[in-house]
Amino acid sequence: MAPATETFLRDEKDLSSIWDAYERGDRRALARLLTWAENPQYRPMLYQRLRSRTQQPGSFVLAITGSPGAGKSTLIGKLLPGIRQRGHTVAVLACDPRSPVSGGALLGDRIRMPVMVEDQGVYIRSLAAPPGRQGIAENLDIRLALLERFGFDWIIVETIGVGQADVAIGDLVDCVTLLIPPESGDEIQWEKAGLLEVADLVVVSKGDLPGAGRTAAQLQQTLNLPGFPAKPILVVSAAKGTGLSDLVQQLETSPRRRQQEESQARRLLLLAQEILAQRFRERRELVAQLMEMARQQGWDDWQAASQLARGLMANHAADSP
């Protein structure tokens, strides 16, 4: 490629030339913007440029979730060829946990997703998900928007397997697929885990292992009660390659959540919470002042928190519109 490209990748501050390259379909520029998506300095500008989200018909965004080791990466790796065969391009965002101690991360999901080196219709990116973020990487929303605008037909998000709490993802994607390996709990546990409710589709993974059929039958009993909307339950073995095309077919026809208004509003709520958290980290003085005031005035926690929220949102010149 042109030498100019190299310079833009080196120059950390040059958003507009990276953006231009991204708009021309340069995958390196896409990669760089996905990195910058977590930089508070660039995010308002990125949102501004993404404002015209005019992709038609837009990507199908799929989340694959499930407990650690449930088989998420392996399954995604096995789905990729089938998705490509149907003529779709596909991007994968693979999240692994970030260490709460060091801030570092070991991102190994893509080991299980071999791709043809020359196939430009697949893009895989590893992301670190901070602890306490419900199993999804920070700034996932903007990253999805970047991939969608780039033109991928499918976007698959692998969440970290936090099992019970990974519910926020539902508002960012079109379809949540939950993986449950055989013999991984009983009815009551599934009932308690909020994920079952969020899932649009339940897959019993590792279908080659003994107990897969029984697990599927139990799920069937738990989930598909009279009076509740039916939830598809599939048994898939990534190892044996069984059930894969059924799954892709099911996904292709799945209803798209993101088009729901409610979902869009909750997406903004996530963003609003993020803005608040970011300002909390940035504005230590203000927070200290407020804590002092709370003590002096004898505010209860609810009052103090309301004041805190108000204070954090007030007169912040840097990113008011």
Partner 1 sequence: MNASSKRIVLAKVGLDGHDRGIKVVARALRDAGFEVIYPGLWLSPEAVVRVVAEEDADWLGISILSGAHLILVPKVLDLLRQQGLSHVRVVVGGTIPEEDVPALLACGVEKVFGPGSPLSDIVGYFRGSQPVPQT
Which residues would be at the binding site for Mg ion (CB under 5 A)?
72-73, 109
Q: Establish if 155 lies at the interface with partner 1 (CB under 8 A).
A: no
* Separation CA 240–CA 90 (nearest Å): 23
Rounded least distance, CB 117 to partner 1, Å: 5
Rounded least distance, CB 241 to ligand GTP, Å: 9
Q: What angle do CA 275, 161, 157 make, to 5 degrees?
A: 65
- Per partner kind, with CB cut-offs from 5 to 8 A, the member of ligand GTP, Mg ion, partner 1, none near residue 318 is none
Question: Which DSSP letter does residue 314 get?
Answer: S
**Which residues here bind ligand GTP, judged by CB under 6 A?**
66, 68-74, 109, 112, 161, 205-206, 208-209, 237-239
Binds partner 1 (CB under 8 A): choice among 126, 263, 278, 307: 126
Residue in 252, 182, 171 with CA at minimum distance from that of residue 216:
182
* Separation CA 234–CA 219 (nearest Å): 10
DSSP labels, 45-84: HHHHHT-----SS--EEEEEEESTTSSHHHHHHHHHHHHH
Rounded least distance, CB 306 to Mg ion, Å: 40
Binds partner 1 (CB under 8 A): choice among 78, 84, 110, 143: 110
Residue in 87, 246, 196, 89 with CA at minimum distance from that of residue 153:
89
Q: How many residues bind partner 1 (CB under 8 A)?
A: 37
Block residue for tokens 């590893």: 126
Site for partner 1 in 38-77 (CB under 8 A): 38-39
Q: Contact positions toward partner 1, by CB under 8 A?
A: 1-3, 5-6, 9-12, 27-28, 31-32, 34-36, 38-39, 98-99, 101-108, 110-111, 117-118, 123-126, 128
